[in-house]
Amino acid sequence: MDLPIIKYSKSEYIETDTGNKVSRKSVICGSQNIILGGKTILQTGSVIRGDLRRTGPGQAVVVSVGRYCFLSQGCVIRPPCKTYKGAFSYYPMKIGDHVTIGEGSIVQAASIGSFVSIGKNCVIGKFAIIKECSRIEDNTVIPANAVVPSFTIYSGSPGRLVDELPESIQEIFEARTKDRYAKFVPSTDV
């Protein structure tokens, strides 16, 4: 379970005061509406749509991402949309701490709890709710409005429950995301 050291070129990534590492090759629309909790990594080609904000005044946060999250290459985070009482709007999305999102996954969930691991090439439908401490396997399609309970593993298209996770999974995910952040280092030969 030892993670490899990932080296990145220092010129490609921007490091913020709170330790977020954001690739210059990622696409961030409406950055004033996005919150990154700190020590979160955004890799090359990932897209966050902060411009699709809720209509009307007030609360402007569109996407909030917690600490120690890892958004891999080419993943798309976009808020979900629906019509409610005759008005069409996009709604804010919340992602907890220690969340890993795999390469090429497309997330349109309403909320993702802490300690969640999403595999490669997954599709998380609109307004899906993913509870804490769960795992979504590679290539899974979670349909719109679905709820993934805590301590479960979902897989397939449409995603179905395939297994359960032990209660210790919180510590395992936490250790792994911290380890990954520590091993995401700039390459020395510039």
Binding site for another protein (CB under 8 A): 27, 29-30, 47, 49-53, 55, 74, 76, 78, 81, 83, 87-90, 104, 106, 108, 121, 123, 125, 139, 141, 143, 156-158
Other residues' Cβ atoms within 10 Å of the Cβ of residue 25? 13
Closest separation between CB of residue 154 and another protein, Å? 14
**Length reported for the chain:** 190
Residue among 110 and 169 whose Cβ is closer to another protein: 110
Residue among 52 and 133 whose Cβ is closer to another protein: 52
Give the separation between CA 113 and CA 111, rounded to whole angstroms. 6
Other residues' Cβ atoms within 10 Å of the Cβ of residue 107? 27
Closest separation between CB of residue 51 and another protein, Å? 4
Q: Where are the alpha helices (DSSP H) in the chain?
A: 169-182
Residue among 27 and 175 whose Cβ is closer to another protein: 27
**What φ, ψ does residue 27 adopt, rounded to 5°?**
-110, 115
Give the separation between CA 165 and CA 163, rounded to whole angstroms. 7
Closest separation between CB of residue 160 and another protein, Å? 11
With beta carbons less than 8 A apart as the criterion, state whether 105 and 75 touch.
yes
Closest separation between CB of residue 50 and another protein, Å? 8
Residue among 84 and 166 whose Cβ is closer to another protein: 84
